A and B are shown apart, each in its own frame.
Chain A
Amino acid sequence: MGALIEFQEVCKYYYMGDTTVKAADHISMKIERGEFVAIVGQSGSGKSTCMNIIGCLDVPTAGTYLLGGRDVGKMNKNELAEIRNEMLGFIFQQYNLLPRLDLIENVEIPLMYKGVPKAERRKRAQEVLEQVGLGDKLKSKPNELSGGQQQRVSIARALVGKPAVILADEPTGALDSHTSREVLSILQQLHRDGNTVVLITHDNSIAMRAERIIRLEDGQVVYDGDSKSPDALVQAHIPEDEEEEK
């Protein structure tokens, strides 16, 4: 069986007037089942672009993306929706919970789109909420929770459909260091339980928690290997500070 995630010369270009932004520039890589990979890089290096492509939210301009051996580029919108529903679990920086729904209702959404009957949906949503330590807040609304708790809800929502890949884009970006550590240990536990976890961060100390680091710079892979290796932390060059606003 091939790799779970395989990028072959994946490119994503944005055309802004006469300049072309190369958000992903001929990226090739493979992620196997059960790996815990951190994608790191400076702001604007193409991490989110990468994650959107892995998450089937976006399609590459060029190159091939194989998910579980299937070519995502050849899928129609409905198939993409199904793939997102069945194979991918998203954890966003901004949690992205629906404010009007309570925790159970938020967590059961992926199961609802899968067509799981209501009673079973509730049961499974409750199980994962208990797993992330929110078993006593099932009927709360998201805005009644702390940031860390909200992020745990979003982890529960990512888990509930038993996806092949858990994708986390800056999951600790909005959290203080204590709650960040909590969230990270949940992700580490998920990895130990056999899940494939792809974590996106610009923070080296967080990336160190993963087994493997893929470092991006200007849309290109500049390092791909063991997170323990000293090279993983080395930057190819020091970027001209603050190129944030784009």
Chain B
Amino acid sequence: MSYFETLTLALRNISGSKMRSFLTMLGIIIGVTAVIVIVGLGNGMENYMRESFASLGSNSLNVIINGRGSARSVSIDDMYEVVAKHSDVLEQISPVASVSGGIKTGNEAHRSTSVTGVSEDYLDMKDFHIAAGRGISYMDIEDRKHVCVIGDFVNDQYYEGHGLGDTVRIRGAKFTIVGILESETEDTYVGNTDDVVFMPYSTASRVNGYGTIYNYNITMHDESQAALAKQVIEDALFEIFADSDAYNVISMTEILDFMTTMLNVVITVLAIIAAISLLVGGVGIMNIMLVSVTERTREIGIRKALGAKESVIMRQFVMEAAVTSALGGTIGILLGYMLSSVATKIIQIALDPMLAVTPSWDSVLMAFGVSAGIGVLFGYLPARKAARLNPIDALRYE
């Protein structure tokens, strides 16, 4: 009896009692669906995080100087020197000075617009492109000029696309718009990546009212050297401050990796819980198969009398369990995908349009393999029971 014939027989037996087969599969269906949706949610969250972080610049480090526990301080020139000295790892640096309060155009205030003082290199470091006019120049910084570059969103919304040469008020001071940036994002909500204004950091720190710069952004040549870059900067700063509390170097890649690891732990735990229901489903299959063996004792006796070997009977029952389980797995996969797309729609309306539930092929293959495997595993015991039945006892069974 070939495997194909055994398979056909199994399918006939399964479709012969559809309701029972469906109920038998239910545990597997639920388990597989749950695994696929949970893993999909994990993938979606990871993608979401990566994208959010990519826009923050995964090839850069943030340095925060707070001077705590040390009498010494670090100047902007010192910081530039650190980068120059380690130019094999580090690439560019820009002081960063946030200016709070947003902007004012005419009589309207726009608090959501982020205003940042930066160096002449910053736009390049962050991959912003000039659409019109010019960027921040070295002379602007030297002379603390009241000039700024505005994002596409600001230009579009508040200047109807003709912002170049116009003025904007920031913290009561008047700034001339010398450049417009190209659009960076499709997003249209306020506070997006294009809702920005950049000015020279020297001007920004004066507008802020304190002379020193506390934040720096440093880029590296190679994203994969984030840990090394961080180390290099920390070492240099330790030399200056002799106290590791005085500064803080934050690597976006490191944070992303940490968060991804955390997320994966959570997802794995959830997936394992879901997988337990697969196991329960397997026990369900075993239970029904045992009942089925008892019910079909006479059939087994007849088949044995007609020459069926133990291995043939065994194969028949294992095949039936495996097919039942794999069928449940397949239904679970379809259901998992359906549920994922429904969940994506709901999440995108309710939470964030960027977040999607994306099931991975790995999890699908694994779910299918595991469910078929569970069928074989839990089908084995009933199948062996069937195969070992004594032919006359089985024939006599009522």
Contacts and interface: CB of A to CB of B under 8 A. Distances in A.
B362 interface: no
B12 A96 contact: no
A55 interface: yes
A57 B307 contact: no
Interface in B377-398: 391-392, 395
Interface string B292-307: 0000001101111111
A84 B305 contact: yes
A75 interface: no
Nearest to A49: B392
B309 A115 contact: no
A84 B395 contact: no
A172 interface: no
A110 B303 CA distance: 8
Contacts, number: 59
Contacts of B311: 78
B310 A98 contact: no
A123 interface: no
Nearest to B303: A109
A77 B309 contact: yes
Interface in A115-152: 115, 118
Interface in A53-76: 55, 57-58
Contact of B392 (A52, A78, A86, A98): A52
Interface in B339-398: 391-392, 395
The B interface, classified by DSSP as helix, strand, loop or mixed, is helix
A85 B307 contact: yes
Contacts of A112: 1, 5
Given A98-B299, A100-B12, A100-B16, A109 B306 contact: yes
B308 A81 contact: yes
A90 B302 CA distance: 10
B4 to A, nearest CB: 10
Contacts of A100: 12-13, 16
B307 A110 contact: yes
Contacts of A114: 307
B1 A115 contact: yes
A26 to B, nearest CB: 21
A57 B392 CA distance: 6
A176 B39 CA distance: 67
A57 B1 contact: no
A157 interface: yes
A85 B391 CA distance: 13
Contact of B309 (A52, A57, A113): A113
The 3 nearest A-B residue pairs measured at CB: A85-B307, A113-B307, A81-B309
27 contacts: A55-B305, A57-B304, A57-B391, A57-B392, A57-B395, A58-B391, A58-B392, A78-B311, A81-B304, A81-B308, A81-B310, A84-B305, A85-B307, A86-B307, A90-B306, A96-B298, A96-B305, A98-B299, A98-B302, A109-B306, A110-B306, A110-B307, A113-B1, A113-B306, A113-B308, A113-B309, A115-B1
